[in-house]
Each structure stands twice: as structure tokens, then as C-alpha cells.
Amino acid sequence: METSRPIPKEEGIDNSLSVLREGYLYVTNRAIGFQSDIFETRLLGERAICMRGEEAAKLFYDGEKFQRHGAAPKRVLKTLFGENGVQTLDGEEHRHRKAMFMSIMNRDGLLAMREITRKQWMLAVERFEELEQIVIYDEAKELLCRAACEWAGIPISGEEVKEKTEWLGAMIESAAAIGIKHRRGRMARSKAEQWLEGLVLDVREGRMHPANGTALSVFSKHRDLAGNRLDPKVAAVEILNILRPIVAVAVYVCFTALAVIQQPEEREKLMTSEEGKLQRFVQEVRRFYPFFPFVPARAIRDFTWKGYEFNKGVLTILDLYGTNHHPKLWDQPELFNPDRFKDWNGSPFSFIPQGGGDHDAGHRCAGEWITLEIMKESADVLANWIRYEVPLQDLSFRFHDMPSLPHSRIIIRNVKRLN
């Protein structure tokens, strides 16, 4: 029998405000204070266990021990994720729904995304050349909205792009917000769900014929384990689980631009546009900068791990940012160093910016590979295809903004296409 030991405990009736105040550093700060990669606290009115590191990630992604149903706060479902989507499913039902997502993440799908991203950047750069200055975050959201719709088989006219970009952006930007910003996110979600529900019905009733293999086609026709089509509202939630995160890659594009600007030696290495170098650069962007902070789950049953007792139903949080910066896993974690990926061992639990474990069997991000394709193409554009001036601005970002972004959203001037 394993002897049990107490989990270090943070005092306080509720520490949710500390999470808002400290953001991405909340778990790290306490892990240092307790000298422990696991501690307990109280969040959103209940007991919660917080963990970081490779071993903790291995435990968290054990589908026999943790479930997702009832774990994400309602307010996050109302804005970021949507209700009854893949993020909230468990067991066989999850596996079946996840297979629907993974079926479009094949070689052709990835190549298509890369090509669409390149084309959208070219069109955007033509516009940038006519303008005195542009804001990279705003432009990236818009060009990725066009790319997302094209990839997903969704028609979108020039006039619609701004509105749809605004909806998708609001869902991302309101994910951890309160008050008016939260309400903006909710409203954006309901408008976007209505729009996509309409398209799903158009496909089912033969008024629209999106290309085979696109998200609109596959998700509209998908059948659940009982052989039924998805409720159109759920199909809309799942199509949004494609469109929204593609637009969210704009945050990574913005951080990629920041790295290109602030790391001239690393930028030099990208000059040959070699795939391996682009890959290491964007991997380091995903490791280094804060984006998705942590993921929640609930214990399915009572169990003991390393002597720590987990009770059935206990809310458990895995710190993604803290794991990507864990000093036991990463040499000089606060140094931006793409070359560290030359000898990274590829563990599915140590480098987890988009979740850990297995893409098909677990909840690891369905869009991780296309994220990399979009980022590599964007890094190539920002480092090699265009030249531009970077005026004086506040490029700093804060760890308590969720999502965090450079304050200026990155302004560049006099953009010119090279050759």
C-alpha cells in the first residue's frame, strides 16, 4: 500500500481573483512557494488541485482517471468553447466525435491550409503596400478568417469578412473576461452559431454543396454512435471549433512577429526558409510565449497518485504554460532558443502548448498540426518576404492578460514585398 501524504494547501476561501491577478504565472508562483508541482486551493467556489510538469500531464491525460464533462466553467462554454462540443465529451462518445475532427487533419488538408495561408498573405501584403502602417494582430485575424472559411468550405463575401472576424475574435478575447467583454463574447457566439446552423441546414437540404472533405461537408453529414446526424446547433458549435481557433492563431502570428523583431540572430537563421529552421522557430514561439494557460478536468473516481489522494469529482487543473517553462524539463526556460528543439525528445507530456497526450484518444488539440503550418508560413513571410519599419511602440506583454498580447498588437510601417 502506498503511504498517503498531504497535498500542500493554499489558504483562502476562494483564490479565483489571484488567478485573474497573476494569470499565466498563478500555478508557477505557488509551485515555487510550496516547492511542489502539486498544491490545492479553492477556485470558483470549490476545492481545486493544480499541477504542472511532465508526470502531472501524464496523469491528467489518463482517460480512466479524469473526465471533461462538468469541468470547464459555464462562462467559458458560453464564449470560447460552445455547449455540447467535443471539449465536453468523454469515453466512446468523445473518441467518435474526435475522429470526425481528425479525419480532416490529413496530409492533403494540411497542404491545403499551407497554400491557402500563403495566398491570403500575398493578397494581404498587396493591400499593406498601399497603407502607411498596419497592426499585425488585426490583419492576421482578418486574413486567417478568410483562410479558415476557405479551408472549411464556407463561402464568405468581402463585405462579410470584417463582421465574421469580429465575432470570432470576440469569442477568443472574452474567454477569461468578465462584465461587458464577457457579454460581447456571448453575443458574438450566438450570432455565429445561428449563421453556421443555417449553412448546415443548407447542406443537408441540398441548397449548398461544399467540397468533399471540408469541415462544412464532413460535419454536416457526420453521424453519431447511434447513427443520427448531429443536432444542427452542435454541428455549428463544432464548425466554430474549426473557424475560431484558426483565427486564434493570430495571437501566435503576433508573437512570431515579436520574436522576429526582438531576436535578430534567430531571424538570420530563417533566411534560407528551410523547413526545419522554420519548424524549430515556431515550436519555440509556442513554448516561450503565453497563450492557452491551463486545462480543467474532474477525477472520475477516488485514487492515489504518488501518495496524494484525489477524490471522485475533484476539479483538477493542468498548467500548460508552467509545464512548458518547467526548469526540470527545459534548460534556461526563460531564454528564447529555437535550437533547443534540435534535441527535444518528443515527449507528448513535456511540451504541451496545445494540450498533451494523444490526438485521437484524448483531448489534445485537434488543430495542432495546422497551427504549425500556418505559423511556419507566417514566420517565413515576416522574416523573409517583406521588409518593413517597426516604429517606437509598447511591445511588452503582461502575464495577467488572458489571452496575452503585445500591448501595441505590433504596428509596422512602409511594408514592401521583396522580389
**Binds ligand HEM (CB under 6 A): choice among 289, 292, 321, 349:** 292
Over the window 73 to 112, marking each residue x when it contacts ligand HEM by CB under 6 A and - when it does not, the resulting string is -------------xx----------x--x-----------
The β-bridge partners of 298 are 67, 315
DSSP letters spanning 75-135:
HHIIIII-TTSGGG--HHHHHHHHHHHHTTSSHHHHHHHHHHHHHHHHHHHHHHTTSSEEE
Residue 337 or 404 having the CB closest to ligand MYR: 404
Q: Cβ of residue 60: shortest distance to ligand HEM, in angstroms?
A: 8
| Grid coordinates of 231 | 443536432
Give the nearest distance from C-beta 242 to ligand HEM in angstroms.
4
Q: Work out how close the CB of 250 gets to ligand HEM at its nearest, in angstroms, rounded to a whole number.
A: 8
Q: How far apart are CA 382 and CA 386, in angstroms?
A: 6
CB closer to ligand HEM out of 235 and 295:
295
d(CA 243, CA 352): 22
End-to-end CA distance of the chain: 69
* 64: its cell numbers: 480512466
Q: Is 140 in the site for ligand HEM (CB under 6 A)?
A: no
Select from 403, 147, 134 the least CA-distant residue to 251.
403
Pick from 246, 270, 231: which is nearest to 114 by CA?
246
Degrees to nearest 5, angle at CA 213 with 210 and 219: 75
Contacts of 322 (CB under 8 A, 6+ apart): 24, 27, 28, 31, 52, 53, 294
Residue 52 found at the interface with ligand HEM (CB under 6 A): no
292 binds ligand MYR per the rule CB under 6 A: yes
The reply on whether position 176 binds ligand MYR by CB under 6 A is yes
- Nearest approach in angstroms of CB 76 to ligand MYR is 5
Does the footprint of ligand MYR cover residue 145 (CB under 6 A)? no
Rule CB under 6 A: say whether 317 interacts with ligand HEM.
no
| Least distance between ligand HEM and beta carbon 223 (Å) | 18
Q: Which of residues 69-98 bind ligand MYR (CB under 6 A)?
A: 72, 76
Distance, in Å, from the CA atom of 62 to the CA atom of 60, rounded to the nearest integer, reads: 6
Tell me which of ligand HEM, ligand MYR, none is bound by residue 246, counting a contact when its beta carbon lies within the kind-specific cut-off of 5 to 8 angstroms.
ligand HEM
Report yes or no: 393 and 404 within 8 Å, Cβ to Cβ: no
- Using rule CB under 6 A, residue 245 touches ligand HEM: yes
Q: Is 241 in the site for ligand HEM (CB under 6 A)?
A: yes
The count of chain residues that interact with ligand HEM, using the rule CB under 6 A, is 25
Helix (H) or strand (E) holding 95: helix 91-102
CB closer to ligand HEM, 61 vs 308: 61
Q: Which residue is nearest to ligand HEM (CB)?
A: 367
Q: With beta carbons less than 8 A apart as the criterion, state whether 164 and 8 touch.
A: no
Q: Does 291 bind ligand HEM (CB under 6 A)?
A: yes
Q: Note whether 23 binds ligand HEM by CB under 6 A.
A: no
Q: Nearest-5° angle of CA 129, CA 130, CA 135? A: 70
Q: Looking at 24-32, 132-140, 246-254, 263-271, which segment touches ligand HEM (CB under 6 A)?
A: 246-254
Please choose which of ligand HEM, ligand MYR, none residue 234 contacts, taking the beta carbon within 5 to 8 angstroms, the exact cut-off set by kind: none
Closest CA to 204 of 225, 226, 224, 223: 223
Residue 411 and residue 386: Cα distance in Å, rounded?
14
CA atoms within 13 A on the CB side of 180: 0
**Residue 293 C-beta: closest distance to ligand MYR, Å:** 6
Instruction: Tell me the closest approach of the beta carbon of residue 71 to ligand MYR, in angstroms.
Output: 8
Give residues 369-398 in contact with ligand HEM (rule: CB under 6 A).
370-371
- Least Å distance, CB 402 to ligand MYR, is 4
Rounded CA separation 50/109 (Å)? 36
* By the rule CB under 6 A, 366 interacts with ligand MYR: no
Residue 228, classed as helix, strand or coil, is coil
DSSP state of 8: P
**Residues at the contact surface with ligand MYR, assessed by CB under 6 A:** 72, 76, 172, 175-176, 244-245, 248, 292-293, 296, 402-403
Binding stretches for ligand HEM (CB under 6 A): 86-87, 98, 101, 241-242, 245-246, 248-249, 252, 291-292, 295, 320, 353-355, 363-367, 370-371
